[in-house]
Amino acid sequence: MPSPAPADNTRFQHLPDFGGLDLLHYRYDGATYSRHVHEGYAIHVIDSGAERFHCMGASRVAGPDDIVLVNPDTVHDGQEEADGCRYRGFYPSPELMTSLAEAFEGNGLPWFPDPVIQDPHMAQRLRGLIALLEHGDNRLASDSAWLNVMGDLSRRYGRQRLETRAGGADHGAVRCVREYLDAHSSENPSLADLSELCGLSPHYLNRLFQREVGLPPHAYLVQRRLIQARRLLLAGLSPTDAAVAAGFSDQSHLHRHFKRALGLTPGQYHRAIHRNSARSYKPPCRPAPYTAVPIYGNETP
């Protein structure tokens, strides 16, 4: 357990709907971790400063953009090596990592032989994954990023090699998933839900869907929600009500995607539509004089 640290040094989030995953942003600020183990994995990225810890029989140092990978039931400690050490990460359970392996041709939990990995590009991808998981407004996006990022991390740095599982040969799988997303665009399904629906593995379905549709399932779902939100705005709903009814987490979420797609905000769209529809039509006081116009150049009416 760490020594006591100010509350503002820690930002913690528990995701019960994502395999009970724990997310953590932490700043050492003089605190130290005594020797301890985790039931699951400890995976984090150093944002600034440096961390020193003892793990797997040796002293390790991780600096900015380094990735720390601690396996389950592995004794380790931790302290600040350089001032201002901050990291962000998560603690996936063995069950969650087993589910990851099952999406590929894996036959067991990944084991990371190197506690410190120097891979700035992968570190940035992990940061992006954490940001998606923290917001949690699109489960398909979180699932897709989890499979892609954690699958690559396990393939590159784990001892167990993960290969893509081809899945079934159902040519109607993509059509089935599209029809489901069209009919349930306000819901927030997971890749596992869609996988069970069509009989393909989650990772294979994600790749197949993107290849045939041009968008991964989570991006396709956002577009369906945008279509529904636009219809609701046309029907008179406020941007706030339209966002919730269409399946967006809140108005700011709709605002971001709507402006990116249409070039104006939902509020601007709503005001323009209903300002124009509120104007009553008034005919001119005097009809304009009728002038016959030839249909063809040399004809007279």
Q: Which sequence spans correspond to the domains of the chain?
A: 7-157, 164-214, 229-281
pLDDT for position 281: 38
Q: Are 103 and 58 in contact (CB under 8 A)?
A: no
pTM: 0.70
HSE (side-chain half, CA atoms, 13 Å) at 119: 18
- Going by C-alpha positions, the residue among 67, 64, 86, 107 that lies closest to residue 8 is 86
CATH number of 164-214: 1.10.10
Could you tell me how far CA 110 lies from the centroid of its own chain? 23
Q: Are 117 and 67 in contact (CB under 8 A)?
A: yes
Residues facing 25 on adjacent strands: 11, 88
Each residue's pLDDT tens digit in the chain (301 positions)?
A: 344 344 468 888 889 889 889 899 999 888 888 778 788 899 999 999 999 999 998 999 999 999 999 998 887 889 999 888 999 999 998 889 988 888 776 667 889 999 999 999 999 999 999 999 998 778 999 999 999 999 999 989 998 756 555 554 556 888 899 899 999 999 999 999 999 998 888 888 888 888 888 778 998 898 889 889 988 988 889 999 999 999 998 889 899 888 776 667 888 888 877 765 554 434 444 434 433 333 333 333 3
Q: What angle do CA 52, 54, 60 make, to 5 degrees?
A: 50
Q: Give the phi and the psi of residue 255 in degrees, each rounded to 5.
A: -55, -45
Three-class DSSP labels, the chain: CECCCCHHHEEEEEECCCCCEEEEEEECCCCEEEEECCCCCEEEEEEEEEEEEEECCEEEEECCCEEEEECCCCCEEEEEEEEEEEEEEEECCHHHHHHHHHCECCCCCCCCCCCEEECHHHHHHHHHHHHHHHHCCCHHHHHHHHHHHHHHHHHHHCCCCCCECCCCCCCCHHHHHHHHHHHCCCCCCCHHHHHHHHCCCHHHHHHHHHHHHCCCHHHHHHHHHHHHHHHHHHCCCCHHHHHHHHCCCCHHHHHHHHHHHHCCCHHHHHHHHHHHHHCCCCCCCCCCCCCCCCCCCCCCC
> Among all chains, which residue has been given the structure tokens 């001892």?
159
Instruction: Give CA–CA dist 260/56, Å, rounded.
Output: 48
The domain made up of 229-281 is a member of CATH 1.10.10? yes
pLDDT for position 275: 66
Domains 164-214 and 229-281 share a fold: yes
Could you tell me how far CA 84 lies from the centroid of its own chain? 28
Instruction: Give CA–CA dist 248/245, Å, rounded.
Output: 8
Instruction: Give CA–CA dist 225/258, Å, rounded.
Output: 10
CATH number of 7-157: 2.60.120.280
Tell how strand 58-62 and strand 42-55 pair up: antiparallel
Instruction: Give CA–CA dist 301/288, Å, rounded.
Output: 18
